[in-house]
Copies of this chain bind each other. A is one copy, B any other.
Amino acid sequence: MTKISNNHVLAADIGGTNTRMAVVNENGDILALLKKTTYCKDGRDKMIKFIVSCAEETIKESRLPKEEICGMGIGFPGPLNVETGTIFNPPNLNGWDNIPLRDILEKELRVPVAIENDANAAALGEWWKGAGSGTSSLFCITLGTGVGGGLVMDGKIWHGASSIAGEIGHTTVIRDGIQCTCGNIGCLERYACSGGILKRVNDALLREGDHAGLQPLKDLKQVSHMVMQGNEIVLNIIKETGVILGIAIANIANLLNPEIIVLFGGVTNLGENLVGPLKEEVNRRAFKKATESLRIELSQLGDNSGILGAAKNILSKL
């Protein structure tokens, strides 16, 4: 028998809305890719069955014999314990309090499983095969329904003392700012997540605009559309969002001095109107020595960041 020298692993990016699963080899090639709506409405046990059946379907699609799958890496919504693979109460999933997901899946699938926070998985993916490839330090900011972050230093995710490191979304950018769901005030997330931007745009249109009869905008596509139509009020909120993100990123630059900061998630679709003012603010606030050695770039892997990070995470443990 020839020894298979190229390890293959299952890699999953499981969210409250979508699940992506793939078979990935040591080079980061994706051999099979499954995309499903996460089946979570009937509770935890059914969702675990859904994960197992996705795993089996993905392996089948890869046409590899099951014995050649050496492990499974998962990106999952936090909070969770990365050492034990136990899930605590993710905000968008019910019944997931203190569930030893890693142990359950290892029993079902009979391979080693490693679970990582989804924002950290995306960061590791971008470091391994994306915008941060070849760097030794990376901070990845996820700008979507929430604002998360993941920190890769010397090729390893930094978890901190209780696995919550990276929470840039809950750093204070405006001392007396907007009340946040986390209990703090003036958190970055309230200004830069999709819902936060939408609320600020609608508030500004109501306050400043001649829009008495207008329905509130419902998503960032409509926001982008109004910017393209030349709406200055909306444009100013997007620019202001870039500036506020720039404050938080300048703080990261001076504090951690990373080689690259990767911007990831749906909010980045706002494009140069957001990213331009963001970069200007970083250059205005951070040390020249920090900005000279810093690249700020958009995600290269997009929706595959999490899968590739999850794959790298389990591969590095085999």
State which of B167, B247, B258 has its C-beta within 8 Å of the C-beta of A175: B247
Beyond A170-B287, A247-B172, A285-B184, is A137–B160 a contact (Cβ under 8 Å)? Answer: yes
- A178 proximal to B (CB < 8 A): no
Beyond A175-B173, A250-B184, is A255–B161 a contact (Cβ under 8 Å)? Answer: no
Contact with B along A168-188 (1 / 0, CB 8 A): 101111110000001111000
Query: In the complex, what distance in Å separates the CA atom of A79 from the CA atom of B158?
Result: 26
What is the interface size of chain A, counting residues whose CB is below 8 A from a CB of the partner?
Answer: 46
Contacts of A256 in B (CB 8 A): 151, 158, 160, 165
Query: In the complex, what distance in Å separates the CA atom of A304 from the CA atom of B172?
Result: 33
Contacts of A293 in B (CB 8 A): 161-162
* B257, A171: Cβ atoms closer than 8 Å: no
Contacts of A301 in B (CB 8 A): none
Where chain A touches its partner, the secondary structure class is loop
* A255, B290: Cβ atoms closer than 8 Å: no
Contacts of A62 in B (CB 8 A): none
Contacts of A182 in B (CB 8 A): 287
* A162, B251: Cβ atoms closer than 8 Å: no
Beyond A173-B175, A251-B172, is A184–B284 a contact (Cβ under 8 Å)? Answer: yes
Contacts of A107 in B (CB 8 A): none
Per the 8 Å Cβ criterion, residues 27-64 of A in contact with B are none
Query: In the complex, what distance in Å separates the CA atom of A84 from the CA atom of B136?
Result: 19
| A-B contact list, 30 entries, CB within 8 Å | A136-B161, A137-B161, A149-B255, A153-B153, A160-B257, A160-B290, A161-B259, A161-B293, A162-B292, A163-B257, A165-B256, A165-B257, A167-B254, A167-B287, A167-B290, A168-B255, A170-B254, A170-B286, A170-B287, A171-B254, A171-B255, A172-B247, A172-B251, A173-B175, A174-B175, A175-B175, A184-B250, A184-B284, A184-B285, A251-B251
